[in-house]
């Protein structure tokens, strides 16, 4: 008996295979749509918008929740002093507080536009040697303003400059040329600065030059200047070499007479506190940080004390050329204080800018996160980042560390809390949803 062999049509087999694949794709799409629905149904639609901002750890005051806040500018800080050579341009840099302030419309005014002018965009032009004060005023609130010193130190030396003279002068004073027959007379406490002069009469300030004296005890050398510290007479000779611009010039040997100044005393030791605490938005007069400074600084020759910032965490900014500072952020700075009259008389002062005690707190960070991933949250007080807080978990299974670092261990809803260490009655809480993915982009990527 013969067996019948049934052979199916190959096209029919291909059709059934395609139908099976289509059904599988349909169910996969259905499952994916369900997951997307669950994920997108949880709070935190704005979290993806700001996730990169938080991960970079930029400590700006930004409310990333749905009710975004804007802050009115309450303070302006400008880079100061602004220094340039004749013909140069420099952009005035402003920092507006609180961070996140949106009102940045200001006006610029120069007290002496013939020396240093400024346009409506804050671009300063150095027009002739001298100094000017630039005022920056907020248009919406003229009481919010800042001032900075702008100093034109003369022209810049180039290969085409024809230097004809080397002279000395007091700070912003009349040039004094020493010759064999015409001595220079200064008083105790005055500072002399070196200048070069070309055939057009332009002045070029120089910070490095060599000098020989017959009596070294009459002057101290301090950062490109000479300070008279003792009455008497000495001969001097100056030399200046600039191989790059092919400038080599020397003065005649001349006589300098130093006159006695009543009450002039050379300090031998400063009295100071090694650590000084300040709050935010405080003005610092560094002269008040040391005692036993030489009284009666001779003006306009310069200050009797020099200040050098050896370290600054961004907590201080110089307000003007007279060494006044402003605290702008929490941190530390080290200020070295030296006497111009006695460079061996020094003080190293640590300035600590303390966090303010907040009256309110709020937490900035993602309101939806992925399970088993690490995120960071920040606490802000009155428009100021607050580091001195205790982090804790009110609800949920999550590990939280100092600094606001958290890692969730299971999906669900959690509540975290930031409590001020200075005032435990001030705290903030934030509800965070922990899901499989922290945003739709992450879902699609996975």
Q: What's the pLDDT band for 49 if we cut at 50, 70, 90? A: very low
For β-strands 378-380 and 385-386, DSSP reports them as antiparallel
At 194, is the secondary structure helix, strand, or coil?
Answer: strand
Q: What's the pLDDT band for 445 if we cut at 50, 70, 90? A: low
pLDDT surpassing 90 at residue 121: yes
CATH no., domain 271-353: 2.60.40.1080
Question: How many CB atoms are located within 10 Å of the residue 233 CB?
Answer: 13
User: Which of the residue ranges 104-118, 130-144, 151-165, 304-318 has the most confident prediction, judged by mean pLDDT?
Assistant: 104-118
The pLDDT of residue 225: 79
Q: How far apart are CA 382 and CA 22, in angstroms?
A: 58
Tell me whether the CATH fold assigned to 11-60+358-445 matches the one assigned to 271-353: yes
Which CATH number, 2.60.40.10, 2.60.120.10, 2.60.40.1080, 2.40.50.140, labels domain 11-60+358-445?
Answer: 2.60.40.1080
For β-strands 254-259 and 184-187, DSSP reports them as parallel
What is the mean pLDDT of the segment spanning 228-249?
82
pLDDT surpassing 90 at residue 214: yes
Query: Of the given ranges (95-99, 134-138, 226-230, 386-390), which has the lowest mean pLDDT?
Result: 95-99
Of the two residues 272 and 223, the one the predictor is more confident about is 272
Name the helix (H) or strand (E) containing 83.
strand 82-84
What is the mean pLDDT of the segment spanning 65-93?
69
Q: How far apart are CA 411 and CA 74, in angstroms?
A: 42
pLDDT surpassing 90 at residue 106: yes
What is the mean pLDDT of the segment spanning 227-251?
81
The domain 75-152 having CATH identifier 3.40.50.1000: the answer here is: no
pLDDT surpassing 90 at residue 109: yes
The pLDDT of residue 390: 92
Q: Where are the domains of the chain?
A: 11-60+358-445, 75-152, 165-219+234-256, 271-353
The pLDDT of residue 428: 92
The pLDDT of residue 98: 65
The pLDDT of residue 33: 64
For residues 286 and 323, the answer to whether their CB atoms sit within 8 Å is yes
pLDDT surpassing 60 at residue 266: yes
What is the mean pLDDT of the segment spanning 273-296?
77
Inter-CA distances, 45 with 32, 102, 327, 368, Å: 19, 24, 38, 8
Of the two residues 46 and 410, the one the predictor is more confident about is 410
This prediction has a pTM of 0.56
What is the mean pLDDT of the segment spanning 201-214?
76
pLDDT surpassing 60 at residue 92: yes
What is the mean pLDDT of the segment spanning 281-296?
72
Which residues have CB under 8 Å from 295's CB, separation 6+?
Answer: 263, 265
The pLDDT of residue 46: 38
The pLDDT of residue 180: 57
Inter-CA distances, 41 with 36, 49, 368, Å: 8, 16, 11
pLDDT surpassing 70 at residue 221: yes
pLDDT surpassing 70 at residue 71: no
The proportion of the chain whose per-residue pLDDT surpasses 90, expressed as a percent, equals 14
- Give 415-443 pLDDT, tens digit per residue: 999 999 988 999 999 999 888 765 555 55
Q: What's the pLDDT band for 54 if we cut at 50, 70, 90? A: very low
Q: What's the pLDDT band for 65 if we cut at 50, 70, 90? A: very low
What is the mean pLDDT of the segment spanning 342-365?
86
Q: How far apart are CA 341 and CA 220, in angstroms?
A: 6
What is the mean pLDDT of the segment spanning 132-142?
89
Q: What's the pLDDT band for 193 if we cut at 50, 70, 90? A: confident
Q: How far apart are CA 351 and CA 141, in angstroms?
A: 31
The pLDDT of residue 152: 83
What is the mean pLDDT of the segment spanning 196-224?
78
What is the mean pLDDT of the segment spanning 5-23?
68
The proportion of the chain whose per-residue pLDDT surpasses 70, expressed as a percent, equals 72
Query: Of the given ranges (47-61, 67-81, 244-258, 288-302), which has the lowest mean pLDDT?
Result: 47-61
Q: How far apart are CA 25 and CA 145, in angstroms?
A: 65
Average model confidence (pLDDT) for the chain? 75
Phi, psi of 275 (to 5 degrees): -130, 130
């Amino acid at each position: 008996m013969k067996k019948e062999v049934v052979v199916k049509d190959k096209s029919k087999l291909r059709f059934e295979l395609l139908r099976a694949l289509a059904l599988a794709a349909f169910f996969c799409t259905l499952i994916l749509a369900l997951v997307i629905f669950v994920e997108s149904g949880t709070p935190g639609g704005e979290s993806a918008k700001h996730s990169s901002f938080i991960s970079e750890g930029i400590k700006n005051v930004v409310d990333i929740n749905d009710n975004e806040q804007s802050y009115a500018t309450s303070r302006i800080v400008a880079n100061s002093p602004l220094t340039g050579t004749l013909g140069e341009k420099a952009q005035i840099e402003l920092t507006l507080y609180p961070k996140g302030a949106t009102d940045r419309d200001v006006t610029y005014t120069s007290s002496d536009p013939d020396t240093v002018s400024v346009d409506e965009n804050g671009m300063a032009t150095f027009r002739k040697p001298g100094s000017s004060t630039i005022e920056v005023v907020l248009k919406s609130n003229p009481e919010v303003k800042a001032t900075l010193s702008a100093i034109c130190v003369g022209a810049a030396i180039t290969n085409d400059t024809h230097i004809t003279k080397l002279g000395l002068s007091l700070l912003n004073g009349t040039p004094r040329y020493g010759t064999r027959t015409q001595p220079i007379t200064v008083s105790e406490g005055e500072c002399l600065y070196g200048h070069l002069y070309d055939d057009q009469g332009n002045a070029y300030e120089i910070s490095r030059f060599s000098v020989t004296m017959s009596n070294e005890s009459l002057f101290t050398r301090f950062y490109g200047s000479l300070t008279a510290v003792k009455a008497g007479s000495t001969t001097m000779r100056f030399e200046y070499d600039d191989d790059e611009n092919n400038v080599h010039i020397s003065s005649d040997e001349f006589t300098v007479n130093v006159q006695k100044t009543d009450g002039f005393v050379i300090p031998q030791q400063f009295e100071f506190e090694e650590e000084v605490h300040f709050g935010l938005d405080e003005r610092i007069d560094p002269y008040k940080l040391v005692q036993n400074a030489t009284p009666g600084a001779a003006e306009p020759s310069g200050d009797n004390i020099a200040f050098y910032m050896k370290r600054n965490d961004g907590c201080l900014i110089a307000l003007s050329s007279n060494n006044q500072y402003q605290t702008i952020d929490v941190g530390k700075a080290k200020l070295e204080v030296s006497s111009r009259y006695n460079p061996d008389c020094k003080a190293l002062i640590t300035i600590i800018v303390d966090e303010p005690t907040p009256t309110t707190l709020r937490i900035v960070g993602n309101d939806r996160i992925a399970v088993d991933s690490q995120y960071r949250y920040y606490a802000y007080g009155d428009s100021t980042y607050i580091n001195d807080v205790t982090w804790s978990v009110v609800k949920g299974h999550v590990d939280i560390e100092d600094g606001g670092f958290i890692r969730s261990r299971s999906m669900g809803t959690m509540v975290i809390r930031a409590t001020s260490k200075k005032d435990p009655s001030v705290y903030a809480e934030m509800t965070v949803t922990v899901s499989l993915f922290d945003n739709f982009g992450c879902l699609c990527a996975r």
